[in-house]
Structure 1
């Protein structure tokens, strides 16, 4: 049972949904894209277009290939319903939204804009969202990602799907032979890049400014944002970045080089293919792989062993083109895009929400206890680290344990990213410590993914009694919307209120703390402890 709960937790942001289709209104805006005209939905204040293909369906011969341009159409295409989510596990307790439909034909994006936006002269700031889900789950159509609140703040919001699991991240010697010299393996990241290229070509017709695009995401989406900052293939496609709970351990498996501790992605791909009876690395083997039913590649109801195997092999890899090196190496050498960035983490990152039987609980995403984590720390530093967290938790041992696990999983690496990236461009650091009113008395901090509902202004979509969010929740959400959208407009997060948010400075490190009913600037006094945790290998 504990293993099952852990696996559910590791796909933290599985919140998948395709909300009920919107109905086309008589005043539905028609926009001319490079592929053809599309009609969306208007509700009087917000315009939306859903299910827009940004690439050809990655099926048959296009499975495990870089995304190709979408086909053109004649007439007016109705863009009023979300496209299918990419194939993945259908049901887990950590889903934030129900999943309705998956299909290998899944490369679609969605757009929200203020009323009257479709005018190339408007040049509104654009925000492009990358969903989380551990690279094995998620969709741009999740109901908590409704872009209406962001659009009301004067930005154009884009969400998108990208290939997941073995369909999105897969290497095999036969593929390397076929695609020699071409980017391969990181098909999910290539989908994200293709979506950004689509935005560059088309967003002006929606009233957006292709020269002012902010890429942001949470969990795997935040890690993807960092990966695209480090990718030469994404250079110039976006101009600012927001990384929410995405600065996890920044190493990656090599696509072809085996090491004693980490077999290459190709070796793991070969092993999986052989387990299905597909041997060799010739064209016949590749044809057999592409002929596999999607259920064999991305099962909707996998066994626990299958989930573990998919998770182990899915995610960005060093391929020499999309990622020329690990992100740790790229950021340490300051070879990432030198663009303004907001980066932050939550106060209870070691845990994730779980919803079942109409209730809620939290389950671990970082399975190690504080004692197990500190066992990896040099002996002369353990007592100081233990004393710091004990004091910060006011002597509450369970709370202190959660704080250590949270920082070891994400907080420490977030601090490291801010410390390294500030040398290249402005950085703002935050810590999020709020949770909806209906959970406040029982959950001691903000679990992984909580801030999403505040950033998108969708507290009513929280899976447990979202209608009980209180005025303090709504006020905090309003402030976060102001910070995020002001950053998208001109690269400086601000609200015009009393709390200033200065740039990160490692000489005097500070972070903006988002807490229930308030925000405050607080010094980071334990930077040496965070540095020690960031250096751990486990």
Structure 2
């Protein structure tokens, strides 16, 4: 049976395509600026008062014998390394219709990050740091996306870091042959290991770029938002960041276990064995797996092939990932740092009606005999059809996590529902990922026709997010005060074209989802 996470991933890729527009090309600084990192000297550049250093290695290239191993240390260098252009993206299947994708070459040699920092660099007054983790269903995207250029966010007084991490089977893969090599170390979740390695790089290096290693905020959207939750719950990531932002990060994805098959969910190793057999590798031959061509490992992650037998992402390995996200927050296993999280007003509503119906049908077994009560909780059959998948996958999990976490740390819950002026009358609300370009200050990446209100909205979003990074309290001069979420008060901070306001976070259908949804289909 097809399952929620895979359908969601496909749907979100379609939605991103529908929302994409021509985006700015990479700007390369002509004025050079040199800086020495802990591993060697870098030759970056200056653009409009912001220092830019790109293509900085944070781990050794995971190629050859290092494929499907934890990230290895960088080999130091002596001569200045050119750092004015982006490096390789990690292997992925790009789609011609998705103009938000980077145009960089793709390679397994892709573990690089980029830094934007305001000038002048001052060692006596270190700035807060924001580390962006891109989305893309753990199968696409990069730190060099034109939507997430960091100069405008950096001008708000933060040091901005974007990074690549291994994707698809390169980043999330398990097989008995690999497990036999490393009985004690972490396995399977190499993309998450990359993110942790990048955060270690930040701790070792960011003060040289004017950033404060004690004030690091991780933030990400979609799969990047899920990665934020995974890092919040991962013991090896503890102490590497001081605050977190999860945008449309969900929390309901059911994760396979590394080695143990479940009645309705094959283990990551079983999935890996199935792939290996299709690729012609039989038995426990790790060398043969690592010798497979990159194109074979990548495969064609199309809508037809995208299922658990073709590809998987995060698995429960017992070390980095100890369980499902909602279970982790319910057990208070998360880092007790300030957390900002939320969802968009119409996450999946821009999808065709037949796709929404199909997604809803995949969810109905999770409610069993209580399905009629769930349907009755919605104000209408149309509202149920339109919103169930969004509510189940994004809105209700964000509120649930806020309710769990607010007992132990400051939590700020939001709903982003700003519709660009050019899209009014076409969109009923803000679809998935439409917030990203606004947070980075590039509304023209979301729509070619940008209004003054759109630009003002981008300014508001940038100020709210950077204020949280500066003082762990989102605030802006032109915005309604944003108090921390309180379980008894149960309000969500809405951001829309009408302004900002506090609204009740609960609703009968959200309560019904929380009450009736089973962990897995019977």
Asked if these proteins are the same fold (TM beyond 0.5), I'd say: yes
Structure 2 gaps, min length 5: 1-5
Deviations 1:82-116 (A, max 9, x none): 11111010215455235342111010101111121
Tell me, yes or no, if the aligned pair for 2:251 and 2:325 is still in contact at 8 Å. Answer: no
Instruction: Report the equivalent of 1:52.
Output: 56
Structure 1 residues 420 and 138, CA gap change in structure 2 (3 angstroms): same
Instruction: Report the equivalent of 2:261.
Output: 258
Match among 332, 335, 349 for residue 333 of structure 2: 335
Match among 25, 32, 41 for residue 30 of structure 2: 25
- TM-superposed deviation, 1:385: 5.3
Instruction: Report the equivalent of 1:473.
Output: 454
Tell me, yes or no, if the aligned pair for 2:25 and 2:146 is still in contact at 8 Å. Answer: no
Instruction: Report the equivalent of 1:237.
Output: 240
- What RMSD over aligned residues (CA atoms) do the two structures have, in Å? 2.8
- TM-superposed deviation, 1:7: 6.7
Match among 322, 326, 331 for residue 324 of structure 1: 322
Instruction: Report the equivalent of 2:296.
Output: 296
Alignment of 1:109-508 (within 5 A): 109-117=113-121, 119-281=122-284, 285-299=285-299, 304-308=303-307, 313-351=311-349, 368=358, 377=367, 382=372, 386=376, 388-390=378-380, 398=382, 401-462=385-446, 466-497=447-478, 499-508=480-489
Deviations 1:241-263 (A, max 9, x none): 00000023143111011111111
- TM-superposed deviation, 1:481: 1.1
Tell me, yes or no, if the aligned pair for 2:342 and 2:414 is still in contact at 8 Å. Answer: yes
- TM-superposed deviation, 1:424: 1.7
Tell me, yes or no, if the aligned pair for 1:21 and 1:80 is still in contact at 8 Å. Answer: no
Deviations 1:395-432 (A, max 9, x none): xx655532333212211111111111112211010011
Instruction: Report the equivalent of 1:358.
Output: none
Using the alignment, how far apart are the partners of 1:405 and 1:303 within structure 2?
Answer: 21
Tell me, yes or no, if the aligned pair for 1:369 and 1:405 is still in contact at 8 Å. Answer: yes
- TM-superposed deviation, 1:441: 1.1
Structure 1 residues 406 and 185, CA gap change in structure 2 (3 angstroms): same
Tell me, yes or no, if the aligned pair for 1:9 and 1:352 is still in contact at 8 Å. Answer: no
Instruction: Report the equivalent of 1:394.
Output: none
Kindly tell me the number of residue pairs found equivalent between the two proteins: 512
Structure 1 residues 375 and 278, CA gap change in structure 2 (3 angstroms): closer
Using the alignment, how far apart are the partners of 2:131 and 2:435 within structure 1?
Answer: 17
Tell me, yes or no, if the aligned pair for 1:389 and 1:403 is still in contact at 8 Å. Answer: no
Of 450-459 and 9-18, the range deviating more from structure 2 = 9-18
> What TM-score comes out, normalization by structure 2 length?
0.91
- TM-superposed deviation, 1:365: 7.2
1:518 matches 2:499: yes
- TM-superposed deviation, 1:19: 7.0
Tell me, yes or no, if the aligned pair for 1:16 and 1:142 is still in contact at 8 Å. Answer: no
Using the alignment, how far apart are the partners of 2:375 and 2:248 within structure 1?
Answer: 22
> What TM-score comes out, normalization by structure 1 length?
0.88
Using the alignment, how far apart are the partners of 2:56 and 2:21 within structure 1?
Answer: 18
